[in-house]
Each structure stands twice: as C-alpha cells, then as structure tokens.
C-alpha cells in the first residue's frame, strides 16, 4: 500500500537545484508521486511541493537527506497539518456535438470549466485536492479521455503557520 | 558587491592562500591554462601526477593524513571525468577536498564543445556540493564556500567547475568574512539533556561497548575518546575508518568487527547490552544480517550527520553532534566505572580468538609480512592500502596507536587508491615513513604514479603482496562458487622490480620467508625515491575470520 506524505521544501533558486533534489530521490530509491516547483514571494527562493511514497523508506530519512542538500533551506512535512492543497488537471475528451451538454453538466459538478472546443474534442479544466481530481478523471473515463495532464499538488499551510 | 576587481585565477589562488593551501595535485589542459599561468608565480606547490585519478587520490591521502583540505585540479572534459572515482571515494569516506575543474568558455557551455563534459551533472551525486561558476561577482566567495563546506559539518569533497573566461577574465574581489557566506552556520551547542541521558544509560549498562568510526578522526576527538573509554573502562571496537582513533595496543582496544574483523570484536558487539556508537554509520560490512546484529544492545548513536541517525539501526538515544563536542560534555557527565565481569569476558574472548595464520609450504604468508613490517617500523608508519585481501591483512596486522595513519578506501573500495594516496601523504608529511600495502592487482591500477614519486623524491614504500591473483575475488570464488576461478588469474604480470627501476625507483624482490625482515629493512633504508617490494606470497591464502555477506556472527568462519 502506498503511504503518501507531502513535503514542502523551500530551496534556493539556483541552477540544478531541481536536478539535485530529483537526483537524491532517484539515487536513494525514494518514490516521488508528484512534484511541483515554482518561484515564491522571495525571488531568491523556490518552493518544491513533493508528494512522496514512504512505504519503502521512513519519511524521516527522506526529510533528513533533503535537508543535507546545500541548496535546501527548510523541509516541512504537512501531512497532518491544516493546509490548503490544490492540483490542476486538464483533460481532453472526444465529444460529438450532441453530447456537449452532458459533458458540460458533468464538468459543472466538479466546478470544472470547458476551456477549449475543437473539432469533436473538448478540453476540461478542474482544480481541487488530489481526491477531487481523481474523482473528476474517473467520471470522464467513460467518455474516452484522449489526453490528460495534472500539475501535481501545491499547498500552503493555513493561518500563520509556515509552509 | 565590491568594486575591487582581480583576475579570476589569481583571485582563486589568493583564496587558496587564505585557506593555507600549500599544494595542489593537478593536471593541466586547455581550460585551466589561465590557472596554471598564475600558478607559475605562486608560492603554492603544484604536483603533476601522471593521471588525474592519481591527483584526486593524492589530494585525498594528503587530507586524511594531515587533516587539511586536499586540493586537486583537472581540465575540462576527460580531465574532470578522470577525477570522478577519486571524488566518489572521498565522498563515501567523508574526506575534505576541493576539486577545481576547468570548463569550456561560458558561451560554449551546453553546445557539445571540444573537451566539454557536464562535470557538475556527473559529480552531483558524488560530491557534498558542486558549483558551475556563471557569475564573476560570485566566484571568490564560491571558492571560500568550497573550503568551508569541505571541512565543516560532515566533511566531503566540493567541486568548482570554472569556465575558461572566468579564470582568464576579471572577477569581483571581496574581503574575507566567513560569517557573510551563504553557507555559514553558527555552531550548534550539544543538548545537555541528551548528554545527561547518555551518561545515565552508560551508568546503567552492564555490558557497554564503544564502536567508533571515522567521525572521531575527522573531529580530532581521539584524546577525548580515550578519556571516556579509560574513565569508564569501556572496551572499544573500531571500524576500518576508525582505525587508529583509539590506540590498538591499549588493553581496552577490542579490534575491528565486521566481515573480516576480529572474532572478539564481533563477540563484544554481539553480546553487549549498550553500544555507544560515535562517528560510525553501521555499514553493511560491519553489521552483516541486521536482524541478527547485536540484538540485545541498546544504542546510543552520536553522529554529526542527522541522516545517519536511525538510518540503519534504530537508536534508543540519538545525538546529532560533532564527536569532539559531544565527548567534551559526555566525559565529565559520566561517573568513573571499574572493570567487571563483562570486561573479563571481553579480554577472555580476545585471548581465545586471536588472529591466526599458518606458514604455507610454498611462498610467504602475507600476514607474516605485514606483521614483520609492523614490528620493524614499531607501528609508527603511515599505512595506505589498496583494496582486497591486502587491505584486510593491513587492517588486521598493522596496529596503529594514532589517528590519521591509516589511509584506506573504506566506503567505495577503490583498487588503485593506496599508491597515489601514499604519495599525497608523503608530500603532506615529508618526514614520516609512508607505506602502501598493495596487491599485485591493485598496484597496476595507478602504477603510472611511480614517475610522480620519483620526480618528487618521495620515498614511499610499496609492499606488494604478490599472489598472482585478484585474491579477494578468488577467495569468494573458491568459497562460494565451487572454486570456478574466473577472471582472477594475473599470470603475465609485469616484473615489478624492473618496473620500479624503469621509472627510476628501487625494486626489490623476496620469495623467502627468512629474508622478509632483511628485505623490508633494505626498503626502509631508501630515503629519496619510491621502493617497490615484490613479495611472492602464498598464492591461495585466504582472509580469516570471515563472516560471509548478509550473515551473522554465528556464521563466522575461522579457516
């Protein structure tokens, strides 16, 4: 059974910092479920939100190894914290014109948006936590998903707690 | 940033002077010519090896034996890539090194230019940190950071990849202020409460044992360790990396445990009720089968690297601290303790299970040679080893009473390490007797460094335990693969005596057990050039004791 924990790492915005973190995970056989990297309020820093499967390696070891990297400033485990967590998913489905209202209604349930209409295709966008995105995708399966992409989750701790 | 500018190569060398670098082991090439140009006028000595791997191992041997940061240098592409094994070797054993590599001009990086390799990419997992210099304003501080990171916290190798235009052109010069560096961290005090609990656990233990590793040596904590061990009368086992951190001739020294360690060391750990582990990391060569390893023992683990704590063996008490800092507080916190029945048992085991070997019918016993070397040199040499049987016999039979005397590739197990490491050690310790205990396989991996030793008049003694085999692999094939000897026969070896002489060194050969001492004596008398001594040893001698990989102490084999 996978045991997914979400770490938020504040890292220096330097060349190769992503390679260092990804390389560490690969070398020590830590399994990354998803990874999102972006700039932060401080241009010198980036934030990595890493969902990691710790069924094989204790989380503590993952965190300590990350903290050893010179470009990593802090690592927080937010698994049990009050956080806001979001992921974005785009999926493209094959839809004949007569079925568009049905798709539109389904998207509505997930507060999703149709953001592109092509020749017999639609791209639907959905934002939510991982569970919601999973449900969103599952419900669209029967319409024939042509392509799908999701960002991996990002999160911030609620209130004054640091992420 | 400062408005003072300086030539890049000169700025780097000025930082080296600030850091008291007195020697660089380096090999030139196109992209480091600007650095060599400034080295021409510098006080810093440059040693030219005959292969970049030799440069890296020499810097490592220099660092291990002196405690200073070793510096090596190579050009871009193939030069930098030839440092790779040496960097990985230093990384595994936590040796402070700074490696300088040239890189193609900044605007050519990433274009598959001549002699371009992604050096920082390749060395990323085998350095503590590395830099590709992109901004001339940052270069001088990067050089300072490299030394800071190499020697502070858990030491390790740092690489700086320097494009040609950076070392050739001007860079910003800043005045030295270590606390301003991005990597600077205030030293953290050791937690008094954890020390109090450690002292309490030691007081309550009936069968305590110390297991010490390279962290004691890196920290310079041998004397404080000695105080703790003697104040509380606790037996001390050492890992390969911890050899010499506690005097091996002392009554409390319980030897080296592990795959080819002493049985009494293994028994001491196995039957203890408290292991006090300082600066060691539960390597698989020590523990064997983890489930069976010292099952009754509680563990106090002191290590500077938090990631080593609870990584392999769960602890009852983990203290993340420099070994010396922790011992500074732990020694006064512990009450004196007398020897008791447990210590009697330890000493009895040591008496029951001494290291043994027998004299073979043909060839010399390799153990005998190391024993005689120990005897003749009074245990006062710096001993480098290669990797394999030679390494284990050196660890078993050459006892050391002082730290920084044993230079051996512990983590990576690099054949070819010993000779260039011995060269580095001899340069760092010109008056010391430096010996490399080698095999006929390993010595051929960096034999080109004979020239380096000859040119620099380095009287390194290379003791070749020549059995005509890759002995350790042959031993495994004999014991675990039905003696199907595959790829281990070294028939056709060069004549090591002639080889030494061809390079301008001294070559000696000995095939007679009765002449071992005389031959060693003859080698020791040479003071201005390297000596190769080709000892024709018993071809099929095996290393014992032997706990096969993944097994426990109960599976120990004595012959």
For residue B149, give the nearest of A61, A64, A70 by CB distance: A70
Between CA B403 and CA B124, with CA B420 as vertex, the angle to 5 degrees is 85
B305 near A CB under 8 A:
yes
* Domain assignments of chain A as residue spans, ordered by start: 4-77, 83-156
Identify any residues that bridge with A5 across adjacent strands, giving them in sequence order: A52
A65 contacts B124? CB cut-off 8 A: no
Percent of chain B as helix, strand, coil, to the nearest 5: 40, 15, 40
For residue B306, give the nearest of A19, A23, A64 by CB distance: A64
| pLDDT over threshold 70, residue A134 | yes
B202 and B155 both lie in a single domain: no
Structure confidence at residue B545 (pLDDT): 95
- Cβ-contact B55, B449 below 8 angstroms: no
Domain extent, residue B321, equals 192-352
Q: What is the DSSP string of B167-185?
A: HHSEEE-----GGGSTT--
Structure confidence at residue A97 (pLDDT): 87
B118, B125, B156: best to mutate for the A interface, most A CBs within 10 A: B125
B269 and B210 both lie in a single domain: yes
Query: In which element (H, E) is residue B398 found?
Result: none
Q: Is A150 exposed, middle or buried (0-12, 13-18, 19+ CB in 10 A)?
A: middle
CA nearest to B145 within chain A: A70
| pLDDT over threshold 60, residue B1 | no
Nearest CA-CA partner of B149 in B180, B175, B120, B185:
B185
Q: Is B204 exposed, middle or buried (0-12, 13-18, 19+ CB in 10 A)?
A: exposed
Instruction: Label the pairing between strands A72-77 and B45-47.
Output: unpaired
B399 and B325 both lie in a single domain: no
Rounded distance, CA B122 to CA B555, Å?
Answer: 40
Task: Read off the tokens for B535.
Answer: 């000892």
- Cβ-contact B205, B334 below 8 angstroms: no
* pTM score of the predicted model: 0.95
B120 contacts A16? CB cut-off 8 A: yes
- Write down the residue that tokens 């001549």 correspond to: B114
- In sequence order, the 6+-apart residues with CB closer than 8 A to the CB of A145 are A91, A92, A93, A137
CATH number at residue B129: 3.40.50.970
B224 and B261 both lie in a single domain: yes
Q: How far is A47 from chain B (nearest CA, A)?
A: 18
Tens of pLDDT along A47-81?
999 999 988 888 899 999 999 999 999 999 988 88
Structure confidence at residue A29 (pLDDT): 87
Last residue of a domain, one of B352, B384, B410: B352
**Domain A83-156 = CATH 3.30.70.1150:** yes
Confidence of residue B362 (pLDDT cuts 50, 70, 90): very high
- Cβ-contact B209, B278 below 8 angstroms: no
DSSP single-letter state for residue B480: H
Rounded distance, CA B162 to CA B29, Å?
Answer: 13
Structure confidence at residue A1 (pLDDT): 76
B172 and B205 both lie in a single domain: no
Does a structural domain hold residue B552? no
B347 and B214 both lie in a single domain: yes
- Write down the residue that tokens 């000493």 correspond to: B347
Number of domains in chain B: 3
Task: Name the CA dihedral angle for B98, B103, B105, B108, rounded to a multiple of 10 degrees.
Answer: -140
Task: Supply the mean pLDDT for chain A.
Answer: 93
Confidence of residue B2 (pLDDT cuts 50, 70, 90): low
B121, B311, B312, B320: best to mutate for the A interface, most A CBs within 10 A: B311
Tens of pLDDT along B278-326?
999 999 999 999 999 999 999 999 999 999 999 999 999 999 999 999 9
| CA B46, chain centre distance (Å) | 22
CATH number at residue B267: 3.40.50.1220
Scored b (16 or more CB within 10 A) or e, B482-510 reads eeeeeebebeeeeebbebbeebebbbbbb
B503 and B385 both lie in a single domain: yes
Structure confidence at residue A84 (pLDDT): 94
pLDDT exceeding 90 applies to what percent of chain B? 97
* Chain A partners within 8 Å of B305 (Cβ): 68
* Chain A partners within 8 Å of B149 (Cβ): 70
Does a structural domain hold residue B227? yes
CA nearest to B123 within chain A: A20
Q: Taking residues A147-161, what's their average pLDDT?
A: 94
Q: How far is B409 from chain A (nearest CA, A)?
A: 21
Task: Read off the tokens for B8.
Answer: 């890049």
Strand, coil or helix: what is B158?
strand
B267 and B409 both lie in a single domain: no
Higher pLDDT, B504 or A80: B504
B139 and B227 both lie in a single domain: no
Options 3.30.70.260, 3.40.250.10, 1.20.120.790, 3.40.1350.10; CATH of A4-77: 3.30.70.260
- Cβ-contact B38, B10 below 8 angstroms: yes
B529 and B461 both lie in a single domain: yes
B281 near A CB under 8 A:
no
Structure confidence at residue A2 (pLDDT): 82
- Cβ-contact B141, B149 below 8 angstroms: no
| pLDDT over threshold 80, residue B439 | yes
Structure confidence at residue B255 (pLDDT): 98
Identify any residues that bridge with B129 across adjacent strands, giving them in sequence order: B158
DSSP single-letter state for residue B198: H
| pLDDT over threshold 90, residue A15 | no
Tens of pLDDT along B146-191?
999 999 999 999 999 999 999 999 999 999 999 999 899 998 899 9
Confidence of residue B33 (pLDDT cuts 50, 70, 90): very high
Nearest CA-CA partner of B101 in B163, B173, B23, B186:
B163
Task: Name the CA dihedral angle for B400, B401, B405, B409, rounded to a multiple of 10 degrees.
Answer: 50
pLDDT exceeding 70 applies to what percent of chain B? 100
B338 and B373 both lie in a single domain: no
Q: What is the sign, positive or negative, of the torsion defined by CA atoms of A158, A161, A162, A163?
A: negative
Task: Read off the tokens for B143.
Answer: 């050089």
Rounded distance, CA A82 to CA A39, Å?
Answer: 22
Tell me if domain A4-77 and domain A83-156 are identical in fold. Answer: yes
Last residue of a domain, one of B327, B352, B377: B352
Rounded distance, CA A70 to CA A61, Å?
Answer: 16
CA nearest to A14 within chain B: B131
HEC profile of B400-446: CCCCCCEECCCCCCCCCCHHHHHHHHHHHCCCCCEEEEEECCHHHHC
Structure confidence at residue A56 (pLDDT): 82
HEC profile of B66-103: HCCCEEEEECCCHHHHCCHHHHHHHHHCCCCEEEEEEE
B348 and B440 both lie in a single domain: no
Instruction: Label the pairing between strands B434-439 and B382-385.
Output: parallel
- B545: preceding bond cis by omega (within 30 degrees): yes
Last residue of a domain, one of B152, B180, B208: B180
Locate all alpha helices (DSSP H) within B486-526, ordered by sequence: 496-502, 516-524
CA nearest to A27 within chain B: B125
B1 near A CB under 8 A:
no
């Amino acid at each position: 059974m996978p045991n997914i924990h979400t770490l938020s790492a504040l890292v220096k915005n330097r060349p190769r910092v992503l390679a260092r973190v990804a390389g560490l995970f690969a070398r020590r056989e830590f399994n990354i479920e998803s990874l999102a990297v972006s700039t932060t309020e401080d241009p010198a820093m980036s934030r990595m939100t890493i969902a990691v499967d710790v069924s094989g390696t204790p989380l503590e070891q993952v965190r300590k190894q990350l903290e050893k990297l010179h470009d990593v400033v802090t690592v927080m485990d937010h698994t049990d914290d009050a956080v806001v967590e979001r992921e974005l998913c785009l999926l493209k489905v094959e839809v004949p014109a007569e079925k568009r209202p049905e798709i539109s209604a389904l998207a509505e349930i997930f507060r999703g948006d149709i953001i592109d209409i092509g020749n017999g295709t639609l791209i639907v966008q959905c934002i939510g936590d991982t569970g919601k995105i999973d449900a969103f995708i599952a419900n669209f399966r029967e319409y024939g998903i042509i392509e799908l992409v999701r960002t991996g989750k990002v999160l911030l701790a609620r209130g004054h707690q640091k992420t | 940033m400062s408005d003072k500018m300086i030539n890049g190569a000169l700025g780097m060398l000025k930082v080296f002077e600030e850091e008291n670098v007195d020697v660089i082991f380096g090999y030139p090439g196109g992209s480091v010519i600007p650095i060599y140009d400034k080295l021409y006028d510098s006080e810093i000595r440059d040693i030219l090896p005959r292969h970049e791997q030799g440069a890296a191992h020499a810097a490592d041997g220099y660092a291990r034996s002196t405690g200073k940061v070793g510096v090596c240098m190579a050009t871009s592409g193939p030069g930098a890539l030839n440092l790779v094994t040496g960097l990985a070797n230093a990384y595994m054993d936590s040796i402070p090194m700074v490696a300088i590599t040239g890189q193609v001009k900044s605007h050519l990086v990433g274009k598959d230019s001549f002699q371009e390799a992604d050096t920082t990419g390749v060395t990323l997992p085998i350095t503590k940190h590395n830099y590709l210099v992109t901004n001339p304003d940052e270069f001088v501080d990067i050089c300072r950071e490299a030394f800071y990171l190499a020697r502070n916290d858990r030491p390790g190798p740092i690489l700086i990849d320097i494009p040609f235009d950076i070392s050739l052109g001007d860079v910003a010069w800043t005045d030295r202020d270590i606390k301003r560096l991005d990597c600077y961290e205030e030293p953290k005090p050791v937690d008094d409460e954890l020390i109090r609990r450690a002292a309490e656990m030691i007081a309550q233990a009936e069968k305590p044992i110390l297991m010490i590793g390279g962290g004691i040596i890196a920290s310079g904590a041998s004397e404080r360790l000695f105080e703790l061990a003697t104040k509380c009368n606790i037996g001390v086992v050492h890992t390969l990396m911890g050899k010499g951190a506690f005097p091996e001739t002392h009554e409390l020294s319980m030897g080296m445990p592990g795959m080819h360690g002493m049985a009494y060391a293994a028994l001491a750990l196995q039957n203890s009720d408290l292991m006090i582990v300082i600066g060691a990391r539960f390597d698989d060569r020590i523990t064997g089968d983890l489930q069976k390893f010292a099952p009754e023992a509680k563990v106090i683990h002191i290590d500077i690297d938090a990631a080593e704590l609870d990584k392999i063996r769960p602890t009852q008490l983990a203290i993340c601290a420099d070994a010396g800092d922790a011992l500074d507080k732990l020694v006064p916190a512990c009450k004196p303790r007398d020897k008791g029945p447990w210590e009697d048992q330890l000493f009895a085991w040591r008496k029951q299970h001494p290291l043994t070997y027998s004299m073979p019918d043909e060839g010399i016993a390799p153990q005998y040679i190391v024993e005689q070397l120990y005897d003749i040199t009074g245990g006062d040499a710096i001993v480098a080893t290669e990797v394999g049987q030679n390494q284990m016999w050196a660890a078993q039979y050459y006892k050391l009473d002082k730290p920084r005397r044993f230079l051996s590739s512990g983590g990576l197990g690099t054949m070819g390490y010993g000779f260039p490491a011995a060269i580095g050690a001899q340069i760092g310790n010109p008056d010391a007797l430096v010996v490399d205990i080698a095999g006929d396989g390993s010595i051929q991996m960096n034999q080109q460094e004979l020239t380096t030793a000859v040119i620099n008049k380095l009287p390194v003694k290379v003791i070749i335990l020549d059995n005509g085999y890759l002995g350790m692999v042959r031993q495994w094939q004999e014991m675990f693969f039905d003696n199907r000897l595959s790829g281990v026969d070294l028939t056709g070896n060069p004549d090591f005596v002639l080889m030494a002489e061809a390079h301008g060194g001294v070559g000696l050969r000995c095939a007679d057990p009765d002449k071992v001492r005389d031959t060693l004596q003859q080698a020791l008398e040479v003071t201005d050039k390297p000596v190769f001594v080709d000892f024709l040893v018993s071809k099929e001698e095996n290393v014992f004791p032997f706990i096969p990989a993944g097994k426990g102490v109960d599976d120990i084999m004595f012959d």
